[in-house]
Amino acid sequence: MSLEQGEKTSGRRPGATLFLFSRLALQNVLRRPARTLMLVLAVTLSTGGVFASYTVASGIKDSMDRSFSRMGADLIVVPARAMVNITSALLTVQPTDELIDSSLIEEIRKLDGIAQVAPQTYLQVPIMSGMPECKANLIAFDSKNDFTVLPWMVAHLPRPLVAGDILAGSRRAETVGDEIAPCNQPVNVYGKLGRSGVGPLDDSFFTTYETIELLQTKLKQNAGSSGNSKESGTESLANFNRSRISAILVKLKFGATPEQARFSIAKLPGVKVVTGATIVTSTRQATTALLGGMLGFTGMMLIAMLIMVSLLFSGIIFERRREVGLLRAVGSRHVDVMSMLLAEAVFTTALGGFTGIIFGAGLLLIFQRSLVYYLETLHIDFAWPEPLAIVSVAILCSVASALVGLLGALVPAWKASLEEPYLLIQGEGG
């Protein structure tokens, strides 16, 4: 009777059929618990390995990027007449009055092999209110492109860096939250840099170009209101021009060599190029290649899981040829049979993906409690990805495991659903 009702209400037949075969697929999954358990276990191990390895690889990449940023730039571009100490030149600009045009930034950025450029400008300003003779180095940098100053920041206020904030080197007595007055203009000490052993970085203050322009505007306003057009000790700030900079720090792309970049940049007028130890560049690039290999290995694990699932379901479907033949013999369409087999694959691999995320989280917890804890005892920071990024990777791995099940079972299910019922029934018996 229900069959007659189904024929009369053809509008509901597809949905009812889909529900019937989905329920049948779920029953088939539960009917063979040992086989299902082994398949779920295989997918669990693969998904958990992919999730944990990708998360750890991302953390290692972020940690290495930060560590290598602390090693400084691959080379630095300075005015041709500037005197440069090679030991410290690759972290920040040296004290100098020589300047170059900021238009060189874009020219250098367009050269082959250049990954990142960061300008800096050196100023010397009174740092205490009412004491013009008490001067300190104040270095302006571009916070959006910087890769040598901010990586050294070990403490900061719980908010983003804004105009009016300043960073203090490790040898400065000021602490986070203090207020100082360069050129008698109050600013906040936003962050504190770690000890680098490089004098210009440890002894100086750093701030953004926006803060320098803000201080310059306030200085001119105060000078105009007081009638004193040139306050003692403030000449460096008063004469600041953003189109003139002291140095350009350069990071190279993977595969580029300092010699090639130096040859290209040296053609620009009025500059000279200083390179540091090549071991920094070679180590940075070798580690980049290693991390790329780790991510490639993660992709290979997904491909291996796809092949494994395809082989397993080929065997499972071959074992169930008689069952498939009987379903075809009683009138089931080959599309319905294939949908049922694919639903079984998706149910199984989705369950394996979910348990794999739990397994991967356990691996990450073990990693946190062992190796990361050991690194922390050595004062080596491990940068975990953001929680949202970890959750996103977990969701992607779960979805990927279900898709792998779908793709892995697609070919064997399609071939079985197209065979003649009597061949399938005979094939079971052998």
* Better-predicted residue by pLDDT, 64 or 25: 64
Average of pLDDT values for 258-263?
87
Q: What is the pLDDT of residue 428?
A: 47
Average of pLDDT values for 34-47?
84
325's tokens: 């033949």
Asked if 123 contacts 38 with a C-beta cutoff of 8 angstroms, the reply is: no
* Better-predicted residue by pLDDT, 89 or 183: 183
Comparing C-alpha atoms, which of 125, 208, 136, 111 is closest to residue 167? 208
- How confident is residue 3, by pLDDT bands cut at 50, 70 and 90? very low
Residue type for position 238: A
Q: What is the pLDDT of residue 284?
A: 66
Average of pLDDT values for 249-256?
85
Q: Using one digit for the tens of pLDDT, what is the confidence trace for 154-213? A: 999 999 999 999 999 999 989 999 988 888 888 999 999 988 887 788 889 999 999 999
Q: What is the pLDDT of residue 162?
A: 93
Q: Name which of 88-97, 213-222, 233-242 the model is least confident about.
A: 88-97
Q: What is the pLDDT of residue 120?
A: 94
Q: What is the pLDDT of residue 245?
A: 94
- How confident is residue 139, by pLDDT bands cut at 50, 70 and 90? very high
Q: Using one digit for the tens of pLDDT, what is the confidence trace for 294-303? A: 777 777 877 8
Q: What is the 3-state secondary structure (H, E, C) of 72-134?
A: CCCEEEEECCCCCCHHHHCCCCCCCCCCEECCHHHHHHCCCCEEEEEEEEEEEEEEECCEEEE
* Better-predicted residue by pLDDT, 223 or 246: 246
Residue 12 has pLDDT above 50, yes or no: no
Residue 237 has pLDDT above 70, yes or no: yes
Tell me phi and psi for residue 422, to 5 degrees.
Answer: -70, -30
**How wide is the angle at C-alpha 389 spanned by C-alphas 71 and 63, nearest 5°?**
15
Residue 360 has pLDDT above 90, yes or no: yes
103's tokens: 């238009």
* Better-predicted residue by pLDDT, 69 or 19: 69
CB atoms within 10 A of CB 76: 27
Average of pLDDT values for 206-221?
90
The label of the residue with tokens 């250098």 reads 108
* Better-predicted residue by pLDDT, 81 or 365: 365
- How confident is residue 429, by pLDDT bands cut at 50, 70 and 90? very low
Q: What is the pLDDT of residue 5?
A: 39
Residue 40 has pLDDT above 60, yes or no: yes
Average of pLDDT values for 369-380?
78
pTM for the model stands at 0.64
